Structure 1
């Protein structure tokens, strides 16, 4: 726990340091308040204060009593005469934390005359932050982001169509992943890693409880029995402190249960399929009490990471982040057993190239480099992320794991990005607002199903 907290405040300190030394926050300007830093970067107030103390010791900031924190007027942002590539990226990001510097260092070794500068901006209101950086005169040459953020752009013509410039790199990628970044005939972003949402388990807890490891083809009933045996009071104080499943109310996690039951929210939906999904979630949380719910903004909670839950829905991106931060055990992958449909969610990280980029040739060179065989192998072999190249994954991951991930042969075609499952981003916000009592166990699955169907009816123009 201590190492993890140290990593969080050190990471935030690095982000703020980047923003100051790049000129994004200029001398004399105020930083976000402590509350805003907590919200924007998903860290605790303790981590925020430790980060600010670190920058204060370095002389980068000055605290003004009762007013806030400003960048020290004495900070000088040096001019750089070398050829420079400026990348703006979303934070927090496991991939950026553990792969970005590795890619930049490798690119610099081959191109010593080039300096690559990476600036992290908060995922919360990401595009507003990007626009703010442009207004401050910091035009990014590349933008690193998640798939959902790519689809939030309102002016796709402001970005370069990468279909032709990166045709040879894209030819090696999973076609299914590329589809998330298409707008009509254009390809607006170059994915650099991706993952399905899958079920991971802690084999040490299974062994400790004398439970057989999950096998291919195990059923929902097998999963429930396994989770029941994993759910125990380990210290005899009358409080359950180990659960079968750590689960989240985030759409990027619980929607997997819906997909496995054949639910889609972008067209006609069977009421019974939604009802079965919600009843099963209530079974896990409140009837059998074999799952522990984490807050929406923390996909996994800390139960699985700290050995307090046997299973969790996660991604290779999230799991690689845990491993690189010192996870104390080696998780394994189990097949999803929640329904009759072999389907799950997909996520991806990608680069976009703004049309206003000052050095398009250099930006494309960097993209080709990151999508090349050696870097793609390195992010998978050395950092545990999935490559966007099928051949790389097949050479480094064993076949049973790839089978459980649903990305072999044509099975990846059954999986979907959130933007494909929900017809409009606003629908997720509306559904989240309607499901508060459900997640607390204070509203029945039947009532919640009817409320969701009402929202879907309102979203469907053909129902008017």
Structure 2
């Protein structure tokens, strides 16, 4: 736990240091308040304060009593004679934390006359932050984003169509992933990694409680029985402190249950499918009491990471982040057993090239390099992320695992980006508000179903 907390505040200190030394926050300008930093980067006040203390010791910031924190007027942004490629990316991001520097170092090794500068911006209000950096004169050559951030782009014509310059790279990718970033006749983003949302389990706990590894055809009843055996009061104090499943109320997780049960969030949804989904979630949490609800801002689940939950819905991007941060066991992939429809969600990270970027040639060269065979293999082999190249994943992962991940053969077509499930992200926010009492166990599945259907039927 201590190492994990140190990683968090070191990460924020690195992000703020990047912003200061790149000139994004200029000498004399105020940083975000502690409350705003907590909110924008999803960190505790303790981690934020430790991050600021580190920058204070380095002489990069000055605290003004009762006013806030400013960049020290004495900070000098170093001049670099090398040709510079500027990348702006979203934070927090497991891929950026554990792969970006590797990619940059490999690229700079082959191109010593070029320096790559990476600037992390908060995920909250990300596009506003990109606009602010541009207005400050820090025009990015590349923008690193999540699939949702790409789908939030209001003016796709502001980004380069990557079909022709990256045609050879796209020819090796999964068409399902590449085509998700099409806007009319253009491809406005180049995916660099992706993952379905899948079920991971702790093999050590399964063995400890006499459970066999989940079979490819295991059923919902098999899942419930396994979760019941894994739900234990380990220290005999009368309080259950280990659960079968760590469950998140984030839409990027619980929606998988809905998809598996045939729910459509467009127009006239099937009432029985919605009710079946919500009833099962309540069963897990409050009838069988074999699942523990994790905070929505941490769908990664502290319980699973620290061996206090036997299973969790996750992604290879999230899981690779845990493993690279030192998790002490190797989770395995299990088939999703929650319904008759073998469907799930997909997430992805990608690069976009602003149409008015300062160095289009360098931006495209960097993308061709990161999408090449050698680096895609390194991403998978050394950092445990899925490659966007089907051939690379076929070499690095066995077929049963690919089947469980829903990325083998035609089953990949039953996986959806969140933007394909919810055409209007405002609907998700409205549903989130309506489901507050449901997640607390204070409103029945039937009542919540009625409220959700009212929202869906009210869509234009």
Cα deviation for residue 255 of structure 1 reads 0.2
Q: Retained in 1: the 8 A contact 2:267–2:457?
A: no
Q: Which residue of 1 aligns with 2:212?
A: 212
User: Is the counterpart of residue 26 in structure 1 residue 26 in structure 2?
Assistant: yes
RMSD, matched Cα: 0.7
Q: Retained in 1: the 8 A contact 2:144–2:352?
A: yes
Q: Which residue of 2 aligns with 1:301?
A: 301
User: Is the counterpart of residue 135 in structure 1 residue 135 in structure 2?
Assistant: yes
> Secondary structure in 2 aligned to 1:333?
strand
User: Is the counterpart of residue 59 in structure 1 residue 59 in structure 2?
Assistant: yes
Q: Retained in 1: the 8 A contact 2:300–2:318?
A: no
Distance in 2, Cα, partners of 1:263 & 1:183? 26
Cα deviation for residue 268 of structure 1 reads 3.2
Q: Retained in 1: the 8 A contact 2:268–2:457?
A: no
Report the TM-score when normalising by structure 2: 0.99
Q: Which residue of 1 aligns with 2:226?
A: 226
Runs of at least 5 residues in structure 1 that lack an aligned partner in the other structure: none
Cα deviation for residue 458 of structure 1 reads 1.1
Distance in 2, Cα, partners of 1:292 & 1:198? 18
Taking the TM superposition and a 5 Å limit, the aligned residue runs for 1:66-145 are 66-145=66-145
Distance in 1, Cα, partners of 2:137 & 2:298? 34
Cα deviation for residue 39 of structure 1 reads 0.6
Distance in 1, Cα, partners of 2:298 & 2:12? 17
Q: Which residue of 2 aligns with 1:425?
A: 425
Cα deviation for residue 392 of structure 1 reads 0.1
Runs of at least 5 residues in structure 2 that lack an aligned partner in the other structure: none
Distance in 2, Cα, partners of 1:179 & 1:302? 34
Distance in 2, Cα, partners of 1:4 & 1:57? 22
> Secondary structure in 2 aligned to 1:303?
helix
Cα deviation for residue 179 of structure 1 reads 2.2
Q: Deviations over 1:232-266 (max 9, x none)?
A: 00000000000000010000000000000111212
Cα deviation for residue 80 of structure 1 reads 1.9
Q: Which residue of 2 aligns with 1:165?
A: 165
Q: Which residue of 1 aligns with 2:441?
A: 441
Q: Retained in 2: the 8 A contact 1:266–1:420?
A: no
Distance in 2, Cα, partners of 1:446 & 1:164? 51
Cα deviation for residue 81 of structure 1 reads 2.2
Cα deviation for residue 79 of structure 1 reads 2.2
Q: Which residue of 2 aligns with 1:289?
A: 289
Q: Which residue of 1 aligns with 2:259?
A: 259
Cα deviation for residue 400 of structure 1 reads 1.1
> Secondary structure in 2 aligned to 1:100?
helix
Cα deviation for residue 185 of structure 1 reads 1.2
Distance in 1, Cα, partners of 2:79 & 2:158? 28
Q: Which residue of 2 aligns with 1:451?
A: 451
Distance in 2, Cα, partners of 1:154 & 1:212? 49
Q: Retained in 2: the 8 A contact 1:259–1:343?
A: yes
Distance in 2, Cα, partners of 1:24 & 1:447? 49
Q: Retained in 2: the 8 A contact 1:140–1:357?
A: yes
Cα deviation for residue 61 of structure 1 reads 0.3
Report the TM-score when normalising by structure 1: 0.98
